[in-house]
Amino acid sequence: MLLDEHLEYLSDEVRLQLFCKAIAETVRPGDRVLDLGCGVGILGLLCLKAGAGHVWGIDQTDAIELARETMTRLGLSDRYTCVRERSFRATIPEQVDLIVCDHVGHFGVDYGILDTLGDARRRFLKPGGNILPEGLQLFLAAANAPQCRTKAEEWGQPNIPAEYRWLREHGVNMKHPRTFCADDILSEAAQVGRLDLYQDNSEQLTLEATLRAKRDGVIDGLVSWFECTLSATVSMSNSPFDGNAIKRDQAFLPFERPVAVQAGDALEASVVFRPDTNLLAWTIRLPRTGERHRQSTWHSMIIGPGTLPATRPKVAELSPVGAFRKALLQYVDGVRTTDQIVEDLVRTHPDLFASRDEIRRLAELELSRNIKG
């Protein structure tokens, strides 16, 4: 899965060419660069080729180990330093001249770029430094997309046992990545947002537009995409109308039921998004008939006991995993080896879990993730 994701990124020639051009336009000889959410390190590598002096790559996933090995094989490990950590917790020993980041989602903001880049900009960027990308423009339209509706409603299909068809409610309240062509778009497109990534942005984005139906037909949901300004002369987009678009799906937001429209109908559309939670809500209203649909990813969340703060007891108590971690930490004293810590934990706390093998397994996993060296 990890390799498939990054293979898709690296095999997108349009995307790579655009980033290469924008980086060449932005990087100055000797620049210190932060490759934020670096993955396998391709953007940082392009920066080094463009003349950067040093790149710091930050990523919390296994992809950074591929970046580390790649730089070692290329003889660049002295110029590309990998930091495996969540970016909000990461530190680097210097401020940088440039931050590069490709956390641009299906409709621009849905892959965490606002919070991630905002935090990095405030902590790591030199005064007068550069950011790539510089900004985002967000677009919205209504689409006739029966194949997408089928996907959104797959839990409601006749072949699904009747007892589980209630899960259709989850599908029609989810964002679905899908690729659209221009013919699928039934309304005029509207720009609903313009974001400057050099500035702090609102904790909640409210994107509104009146979409005009171009022809008679049936609308299955909203479609959103982005145009991303990489540098002064370079931008990239996943627009269904752009013949030079990168290979990134648009975002499909389904309605509870299809909406029949006539040419010229005005559709009042609204999308509300909270970048810090990834909660997304969308509304469509057809004034001619009064028909309205309201959907939200809140209704697609799988919520169990203790998930919501309101359901938690006022007196805080450790969960079994919390108690395990508390017990484990007391043995991390700078003297014991990892093996000694694990055996001491099993010997003194044999009842943390039903299985001693599980205590060992979880202890080794926690130590591998959280011990230096």
Peptide bond into 133 cis (omega under 30): yes
Segment 137-157, tens digit of pLDDT: 999 999 999 888 888 888 899
In angstroms, the CA 356 to CA 349 distance is 9
According to DSSP H, which parts of the chain are helical? 2-10, 13-26, 42-49, 63-73, 113-124, 146-152, 168-171, 320-329, 338-348, 356-370
Dig out the tokens for 122 from the structure.
């405030």
Q: Which helix (H) or strand (E) holds 208?
A: strand 205-212
Q: Is the pLDDT confidence value at 310 over 60?
A: no
In angstroms, the CA 6 to CA 19 distance is 15
Dig out the tokens for 224 from the structure.
């959103």
- What is the percentage of the chain residues whose pLDDT exceeds 90? 73
Instruction: Give the per-residue SS3 of 239-300.
Output: CCCCCCCCCCCEEEEEEEEEEEECCCCEEEEEEEEECCCCEEEEEEEECCCCEEEEEEHHHH
In angstroms, the CA 133 to CA 143 distance is 28
pLDDT of residue 7: 86
In angstroms, the CA 213 to CA 259 distance is 11
Measured torsion, CA atoms of residues 171, 277, 305, 300, in degrees rounded to the nearest 10: -10
Measured torsion, CA atoms of residues 225, 226, 227, 231, in degrees rounded to the nearest 10: -150
Among 100-104, 178-182, 299-303, 331-335, where is mean pLDDT lowest? Answer: 299-303
In angstroms, the CA 326 to CA 366 distance is 12
Band (pLDDT 50/70/90 cuts) for residue 9 is: confident
Dig out the tokens for 369 from the structure.
């993730």
- Residue 73 CA to its chain's centroid (Å): 29
Instruction: Tell me which CATH code domain 136-300 carries.
Output: 2.70.160.11
Segment 220-254, tens digit of pLDDT: 999 999 999 999 999 999 999 999 999 999 999 99
pLDDT of residue 152: 87
Band (pLDDT 50/70/90 cuts) for residue 90 is: very high
Q: In this structure, are residues 273 and 207 in contact, taking their beta carbons and an 8 Å threshold?
A: yes
In angstroms, the CA 183 to CA 230 distance is 28
Band (pLDDT 50/70/90 cuts) for residue 102 is: very high
Q: Is the pLDDT confidence value at 348 over 70?
A: yes
Measured torsion, CA atoms of residues 140, 14, 152, 175, in degrees rounded to the nearest 10: -60
Q: Is the pLDDT confidence value at 210 over 80?
A: yes
pLDDT of residue 317: 83
Measured between its terminal Cα atoms, the distance across the chain in Å is 28
Compute the radius of gyration of the chain from its Cα atoms: 24
Dig out the tokens for 228 from the structure.
């991303």
**pTM, full prediction:** 0.87
Domain 2-102 CATH superfamily: Vaccinia Virus protein VP39 (3.40.50.150)
pLDDT of residue 302: 82
In the chain, domain spans: 2-102, 136-300, 318-370
